[in-house]
Structure 1
Amino acid sequence: MTSYQNMPLYSVNIKIFLKLGLIGSGARTMRVLLGLVLILTYSGQLINFCKTWNEDIGESGMNFHVVALIMHSVVRFFVVLKKAKKFERFFQRTEQWFTDIEQNSDPGVVRMLQDVITHARKVTRIGFYTSIIGALCAYIYPFSFEERKFILDIDYFFFDAKQTPFYEFFFLLQALILVPVFIFVYLPFANFLLMSLKFGEVILMDLCTKLRNISNQDEATQLRELKECISYHEKIITFRNDLEYLVSIDGFFHIALFSLMLCMLLFFLSLVHDIRLILTALAFISFHIYIIGITYYYADNFSNESLKVAYAAYDTPWYEGNSELRKCVQVMIARSHRPLEIKSGGLYPMTLENFQAILRISYSYFSMLQGFNQQ
């Protein structure tokens, strides 16, 4: 049994990855099955979208959003699958770090870590309770129509998916496999990123505490403790680099698709009058704004916390030390002036400022579509 699967920081999310076979050495058959279901559904969605895009522009907007949502889930599935070893090493190092802070750090930092654990469990519960409600609505939604309808609209070239026995097969496939897989891939990945960012805040606070606790008794002790802090800071930078490597591709797709998805949902909302479709669109809009908003909020907090390291380094008794100690302080301050940002695709920093820019871009696209539609 892997030791990191019981780490309270990530709660049940690691266990889900292990059960699905996304990380770890076993469950190869499970990985292949889940991958086939996702690809089969996604290809059916694309075919359906291509066949129906010019029939109803409002419904085409909703179909585009659902296609993009499943595409994002497919991306997350294969990102974890391809980088499974990297994820495992990241979890192992985080677990060791987590244990070290619990046992050796300042009591204030340990209390902060316990608060993060409580927060992690709360976020995980909220996410899964919301997903259960969403799944129930998804199951009920097709039965609110008189004609046959899937949870996710699909079509194929060589047969009619809505004819017996294909309809029953694909409906059960979506209900029993696709919806649970979507929940158990999409949400644990989001929770992993959120909790990693919160843990990043804790280790930055731990570093600031270590810097402020540097003794002013003798130069040798000061220099040794300061060099330990510099090494600790390098470790935090590596943590940030590893985290960005794991989520960078997913973040790029999230940014690239989110503006279009939000735009299409708003456009769809302005065209339809069916209360079922309006509620569905509002639920999707709320879901996406919450997911990307809270992610960028946590990433922004992590980035802002990294800037406080420079102030903590300046507060050390460097003025009483020798030239080597002063150079070490200068190095620490210089490195800390550049914030530790998580970038989508290695290009686009996850900050609240950029989140606001994304919302503005989405509304601009929406206004442009409305203008074209009214002409």
Structure 2
Amino acid sequence: MIEDLPIISINVKILKFWSFILVHNWRRYISLIPSIFLNITQFLDMYFSNEPIDSIIRNVYFLVLWFNTVIRALFLIANRRKFEIFMENLEYMYYEIKKDGEKPIVSLLDEMTKTARRLSIFNLFLGVLVSTGFVLYPLFSNERALPFGITIPGVDKYAEPAYGIIYTWQVIITPMGCCMYIPFTSIVVGYMMFGTVASHYLQHRLRRLRERGDTDKIVMMKIVWCIQYHWRLMRYTTKLNDLVTYIALLEFLTFGATICALLFLLNIVKTFEEMFIVSTYILMIIMQLFTLYWYADELSVQSLRMAVAAYDSSWLDFKVPARKALVLIILRTQKPLMLKVGNVYPMTMQTFQSVLNAAYSFFTILRRMYV
């Protein structure tokens, strides 16, 4: 069962519970419809807003966060079958490595699985922490406020009983939104981490093309297997890129600007409680982006090391046909297995650094203009 695959099981079970993948039931609508309605009222609030700049920036952050949450959920629903097929292939490749029994690779897979599970739990904990900040923020405000700025035409959101109803509604849907947003990132990271393990696996097999007692025919069969496995890895990366590239583009465009705005907000808030909450918002965005770009970069780096592993094999002892096949592997593996943002920018740590640099540059400009 896909939901029992250890490297992604936590996130699959959450997404399955809310009926975004594997099943289709009423829970999907219980979480999605209120979230879409909230996001619409947030856009209306931005259009009609006449609040101070700090409130506007804070509400823009929530608008972007909920917009990304809704888009992720809708994307999962629209591409549910693609995700399920991808996970079925992941399950097959995962247990293929387990069955092969190569101790260094199995140990690496087990360690990566533990890391993926710990990361999923940490992301959920961070999501709970930030969500708690969302709903507690109004308690530290000098005026009556809501966790998320909204505008409902014809309704005075700060008058009773509307205020109590809206506040309760936002408190209830906040953990639902967390379960829509956080597991998507964690499951994609799990996909990337397995791709890294599979790259190590191919490197290991390339370095051991000739073992004691192997004939030239066996060596050639191993080389053919390596070529086929690399082709499977290329398909795996291509399918993964198709599933994440446009979501990554959306976050690339929105989160850079949001980090800039939150840095500016951090510069103008006055109380320690507000500074702590805003800092938590910034930390959440940076952690989400860093995790994605780190493991996408690691996948690319490990795929390039396949060519080195092929060269490190005892190729001098091979016959001419085997040498020619090995050259083919080296040529193919010199092109990295790379995920891209919007099929344009590579998902690497260099791109992540560029996002932070751009956000900080615009922040300094805003700060000078404000002062």
Fold match, TM over 0.5?
A: yes
TM range (shorter): over 0.9
Say which of 53, 61, 65 aligns to 1:65: 61
RMSD: 1.7
**1:186 partner amino acid:** Y
Residues 258-273 of structure 1 aligned to structure 2 (within 5 Å): 258-273=255-270
- Maintained 8 Å contact 1:11/1:120: no
**1:200 partner amino acid:** G
Larger mean CA deviation between 149-158 and 187-196 belongs to 149-158
Q: Distance in 1 between matches of 2:253 and 2:133?
A: 27
CA deviation after TM superposition for structure 1 residue 182, in Å = 1.6
- Maintained 8 Å contact 1:267/1:369: yes
After superposition, give the CA deviation of every residue in 1:228-270 in whole Å (9 maximum; x if it has no partner).
0000001111111111111111100111011100100011112
Say which of 307, 312, 334 aligns to 1:315: 312
CA deviation after TM superposition for structure 1 residue 208, in Å = 0.7
1:101 — aligned with what?
A: 97
Q: Distance in 1 between matches of 2:10 and 2:83?
A: 15
Q: Distance in 2 between matches of 1:86 and 1:327?
A: 37
After superposition, give the CA deviation of every residue in 1:126-162 in whole Å (9 maximum; x if it has no partner).
2222223333333322233364322111112232233
1:20 — aligned with what?
A: 18
2:294 — aligned with what?
A: 297
Q: Distance in 2 between matches of 1:61 and 1:305?
A: 40
**1:15 partner amino acid:** K
Larger mean CA deviation between 117-126 and 315-324 belongs to 315-324
After superposition, give the CA deviation of every residue in 1:28-61 in whole Å (9 maximum; x if it has no partner).
x322332211111111111112222x54222222
Q: Distance in 2 between matches of 1:147 and 1:372?
A: 27
Asked if 1:283 is matched to 2:280, the reply is yes
**1:270 partner amino acid:** N
**2:325 partner amino acid:** C
Q: Distance in 2 between matches of 1:192 and 1:342?
A: 15
After superposition, give the CA deviation of every residue in 1:276-306 in whole Å (9 maximum; x if it has no partner).
3222211111111111112211111111101
- Maintained 8 Å contact 1:105/1:206: no
CA deviation after TM superposition for structure 1 residue 363, in Å = 1.0
2:43 — aligned with what?
A: 46
Q: Distance in 2 between matches of 1:105 and 1:253?
A: 40
1:246 — aligned with what?
A: 243
In structure 2, stretches of 5+ residues that fail to align are: none
Residues 1-375 of structure 1 aligned to structure 2 (within 5 Å): 3-27=1-25, 29-52=26-49, 54-145=50-141, 147-176=143-172, 178-215=173-210, 217-374=214-371
Q: Distance in 1 between matches of 2:164 and 2:231?
A: 56
**2:136 partner amino acid:** I
- Maintained 8 Å contact 1:207/1:229: yes
After superposition, give the CA deviation of every residue in 1:201-241 in whole Å (9 maximum; x if it has no partner).
11111101111111263221111110000000011111111
TM, length-normalised to structure 2: 0.95
Q: Distance in 2 between matches of 1:65 and 1:186?
A: 15
TM, length-normalised to structure 1: 0.94
In structure 1, stretches of 5+ residues that fail to align are: none
**1:96 partner amino acid:** Y
- Maintained 8 Å contact 1:11/1:124: no
After superposition, give the CA deviation of every residue in 1:313-354 in whole Å (9 maximum; x if it has no partner).
112333333333222112111111111111111111111111
- Maintained 8 Å contact 2:130/2:281: no
Q: Distance in 1 between matches of 2:168 and 2:62?
A: 18
Q: Distance in 1 between matches of 2:352 and 2:364?
A: 19
- Maintained 8 Å contact 1:131/1:183: yes
After superposition, give the CA deviation of every residue in 1:354-374 in whole Å (9 maximum; x if it has no partner).
111111100111122223323
